[in-house]
Structure 1
Amino acid sequence: MTSTLLNDAVGQTGKVAERGSAPVKTIATWVADNMDGLAIGALVALGIVAVMLLIRLAGSKMLAGDPECRRWRGIIGSVLAKTSMFFMVAAAISIVVSYAEVHAKLARLAEILFIVAAAIQAAIWAREIVLGVIRSRIGDDPGASTLGNAMGIVRVLVSVAAFAIAAIVILDNLGVNVTALVAGLGVGGIAIGLAAQGIFSDLFAGLSIVFDRPFRRGQTIRYGGASGSVGTVERIGMKTTRIRSVSGEQLVIANTKLLEQEVTNVNESRVRRIWLPFGVIYQTGPEVIENLPNLLEQVIGPMKTVKIVRCCATAFGASSIDIELVYDDRSTDADTLAKHKSLIITGIMKLFAREGIEFAYPTQTTFTAAPDGTMIMPYPSVQPVTSVEPPREEPPLT
């Protein structure tokens, strides 16, 4: 009886050991059958992981040279430095599985793992590219631009958009019907856009100012046409742009309204063309008028940034021969332009006083005629005054 029970226990133990060793034998057999493929896959995976690590190291060095991502070198370095180890491991597993004959479920699991890792990594790369480009557009003073002020909001929006797309790609590859999800997100986005239409319109207008760069902070602009306002841009905000007018006031205008108007960037002009009209009396000789450009060169010549374009007679005025002086000034500072113009005006006054040339001003000459029609005015000299009234008779003395 005892021996029988002992034999049964030994038999059961043997069966359990056999069943436990069966998976090990199966795995060993599979490894032996796929030794070449596993070896090749492992070598390829190790090589790719090593290359990714080297690329990530190179990206870190590139980013160290431009940590603020002001240039494309820093942007590319930031993207490469964000390559995650999870993506490298998932890629390595997928490569090894592709070289060996594995069970369909295991192959599907490796494929899902790679899809998840690739989608997340692509979202990280896309986010870094977008944020890097945005940072490169901010400039040296992040607090003075739209993107510098809105960088936190922009980072959140870009991250949400990138990872939302990654999540949709992952769910779609897992067999989930994402049509309803995308439709719901679209409806929600439309509702939010309509609710904050004014804010988003000004925000995107500010972004277009920064990206298109019709003007920058510190530049002088004129908006609203020739008779509009002139000032220096102090700050490009999320919703408004602040401009310091030439008279000292701060002008605040919505970004959308600003872009709807004609904007002239004064700082981008290479030269400023100035018109200076004046008039000389009719007694001025024609040879003097013809020689005016040479005479005025004595005044404008010493100014290095000023060059005469023309100086000529333009019209016969009511009281003068009208002259127009046109010159180019390469200075862009308003105070310097005003100073040069003042020097030219005072220089012309001194030159005309020295040359005996008279400026014209509105005058009228009156001619007086005698009863017989003889012109009696003006006289070249003072004439004696005679009375035209009959002498008064004195009353007789009594």
Structure 2
Amino acid sequence: MTLSLLTAAPAAPKNASAPTPIADLHDWWDGSVAWVNSHWLQIGIAVAAGLLIYFLLSLLRTLALKRAQAAPGHFTLTDIVGRVVHKTRSSVLAIISIRLVASYANPPALVMQTIQFVFTVAVVLQVAIWAREIVIGLIQRRAADRHNETLINAMGIIRLLISVALFAIAAIVILDNMGVNVTGLVAGLGIGGIAIGLAAQGIFSDLFASLSIIFDRPFRVGQAIKYDNSSGTVERIGLKSTHIRSANGELLVISNTNLLSKEITNYAHLHRRRVTFPIGVIYQTTPAMLRALPALLEEQVKATGHEFIRSSFTGFGPSSLDFELIFDVHDEDYDKVAAARTDIAIRLFEAMTAAGYDFAYPTQTSFTAAPDGTMILPYAEDGAAKAPKPARG
């Protein structure tokens, strides 16, 4: 009987062939040394070209910045370009220079991937900074006003909203370039934005209404406006409400959303104001005097130096023959307009009285019927005296 002894080979240790970090680092070092030894000339040329490109980009940035700073004016397009150039980082210029010459040196895949990743992050963030400066600069240029207190108060929150939006987009672009699935992230941000918007609907509504007032400029601080049934002078345009001082002295605080939902009449920069005078004369006025009245009214308006529009007969009133006088006073100051209106009114009264016109006012005359049905006057007739003229109606 033979006894066979089977001896098994010793088992290999687990993960013996798996790479370790130290081994990876060693391999990377060996590959880098081999790359430098075999491509030293290309590397030297790439470094020299990169330095030259960086120098040219820095020189271009300096020249553009000096040109923009030398231009006069604030919040101009040149000023905005200068602010954008000023925000260009030297590190971004360096990574751009490296990226432009990296492929010539034929670096290892890991080095090239690292350069590409750093280049993407730096450029995306720099573009976000540029976009923020351009948008904010255009907003300030559009709403530039020496007395625009609202803009000063709103610029902080405007800058915050623009920064959050732009850098959120930049983060999504960076993650997408890294191979991360950003679909869920975008959907989550959208749902979160909707929830926040619904929760603060009233606040955001007034905020955007305030921005609309700043940019559209339906009125400014110090201007007289009429809103719905209220009128007064604008004292303050806030982020949520606008303060209006009424003619009686009350302070009206109106939310910006409600303010823009109604018709607004702005009396500022009203180069002319139209004044209308209704004038009534008695029915006993002769036809010749009626024909002469429009010319008399026109003469009095032109004598004061204001613009005559028209004067005409408008109708038969209950107790008067009605005329209308329309003229324009070319002045923005309402106090001067009121003074001109008063002056013309007194001139009309003097001229019409001197010409024999009688102003009509509401009166009633009673007539009595005789037994045979004919109308008789309501006073006793004196046979010797001429019957007086009937009272005007």
TM-score (norm 2): 0.80
In structure 2, the CA distance between the partners of 1:219 and 1:24, relative to structure 1 (3 Å rule), is same
- Structure 2 match to 1:176: 180
Gap runs ≥5 in structure 1:
1-19, 385-398
| Among 227, 238, 242, the residue aligned to 1:223 | 227
Q: How far apart, CA to CA, are the structure 2 residues paired with 1:150 and 1:22?
A: 56
**CA RMSD of the aligned region, Å?**
2.9
Q: Could you tell me whether the CA contact under 8 Å between 1:243 and 1:252 is conserved in 2?
A: yes
Q: Could you tell me whether the CA contact under 8 Å between 1:242 and 1:253 is conserved in 2?
A: yes
| Among 40, 55, 78, the residue aligned to 2:83 | 78
Q: 1:381 Cα shift?
A: 6.5
Alignment of 1:313-392 (within 5 A): 313-367=313-367, 375=376, 378=379
Q: How far apart, CA to CA, are the structure 2 residues paired with 1:82 and 1:59?
A: 13
Q: How far apart, CA to CA, are the structure 1 residues paired with 2:243 and 2:301?
A: 37
Alignment of 1:144-155 (within 5 A): 145=150, 147-155=151-159
Alignment of 1:1-398 (within 5 A): 26-27=35-36, 29-33=38-42, 39-62=48-71, 65-66=72-73, 69=75, 71-136=76-141, 137-143=143-149, 145=150, 147-224=151-228, 228-267=229-268, 269-304=270-305, 306-367=306-367, 375=376, 378=379
- Structure 1 match to 2:15: none
Q: 1:260 Cα shift?
A: 1.2
Q: How far apart, CA to CA, are the structure 1 residues paired with 2:257 and 2:155?
A: 20
In structure 2, the CA distance between the partners of 1:329 and 1:110, relative to structure 1 (3 Å rule), is same
Q: What do residues 200-244 of structure 1 show as CA deviations (whole Å, max 9, x unaligned)? A: 1111111112112222222222222xxx22222221111111112
Q: How far apart, CA to CA, are the structure 2 residues paired with 1:310 and 1:343?
A: 18
Gap runs ≥5 in structure 2:
1-28, 386-393
1:267 alignment partner, SS class = coil
Q: How far apart, CA to CA, are the structure 1 residues paired with 2:368 and 2:103?
A: 118
Q: 1:121 Cα shift?
A: 1.1
Q: 1:107 Cα shift?
A: 1.8
TM-score (norm 1): 0.79
1:301 alignment partner, SS class = helix
Q: How far apart, CA to CA, are the structure 1 residues paired with 2:253 and 2:63?
A: 51
Q: 1:42 Cα shift?
A: 4.4
Q: Which amino acid aligns with 1:332?
A: E
Q: What do residues 163-195 of structure 1 show as CA deviations (whole Å, max 9, x unaligned)? A: 222222122212222222222222222222122
Q: How far apart, CA to CA, are the structure 1 residues paired with 2:158 and 2:130?
A: 16
1:291 alignment partner, SS class = helix
1:340 alignment partner, SS class = helix
Q: Could you tell me whether the CA contact under 8 Å between 2:298 and 2:311 is conserved in 1?
A: no
Q: How far apart, CA to CA, are the structure 1 residues paired with 2:157 and 2:377?
A: 89
- Structure 1 match to 2:7: none
Question: Number of residues paired by the alignment?
Answer: 355
Q: Which amino acid aligns with 1:141?
A: H
Q: 1:79 Cα shift?
A: 1.7
Q: 1:254 Cα shift?
A: 0.9
Q: Which amino acid aligns with 1:164?
A: A
1:58 alignment partner, SS class = helix
In structure 2, the CA distance between the partners of 1:109 and 1:163, relative to structure 1 (3 Å rule), is same
Q: Could you tell me whether the CA contact under 8 Å between 2:232 and 2:245 is conserved in 1?
A: yes
- Structure 2 match to 1:395: none
Q: 1:56 Cα shift?
A: 3.2
Q: Which amino acid aligns with 2:284?
A: Q
Q: 1:379 Cα shift?
A: 6.6
Q: How far apart, CA to CA, are the structure 2 residues paired with 1:279 and 1:259?
A: 41
Q: Could you tell me whether the CA contact under 8 Å between 2:64 and 2:82 is conserved in 1?
A: no
Q: How far apart, CA to CA, are the structure 1 residues paired with 2:60 and 2:366?
A: 100
Q: How far apart, CA to CA, are the structure 2 residues paired with 1:140 and 1:75?
A: 18
Q: Could you tell me whether the CA contact under 8 Å between 2:231 and 2:246 is conserved in 1?
A: yes
Q: 1:33 Cα shift?
A: 4.2
Q: 1:247 Cα shift?
A: 2.1
Q: 1:380 Cα shift?
A: 7.9
Greater Cα shift, 28-37 or 260-269: 28-37
Q: 1:109 Cα shift?
A: 1.6
Greater Cα shift, 33-42 or 248-257: 33-42
Q: Could you tell me whether the CA contact under 8 Å between 1:220 and 1:265 is conserved in 2?
A: yes
2:324 alignment partner, SS class = strand
Greater Cα shift, 40-49 or 196-205: 40-49
Q: How far apart, CA to CA, are the structure 1 residues paired with 2:319 and 2:148?
A: 59
Q: Which amino acid aligns with 2:282?
A: I
Q: How far apart, CA to CA, are the structure 2 residues paired with 1:376 and 1:157?
A: 85
2:39 alignment partner, SS class = helix
Q: How far apart, CA to CA, are the structure 1 residues paired with 2:245 and 2:285?
A: 46
Q: Which amino acid aligns with 2:187?
A: A
Q: Which amino acid aligns with 2:102?
A: V
Q: Could you tell me whether the CA contact under 8 Å between 1:282 and 1:321 is conserved in 2?
A: yes
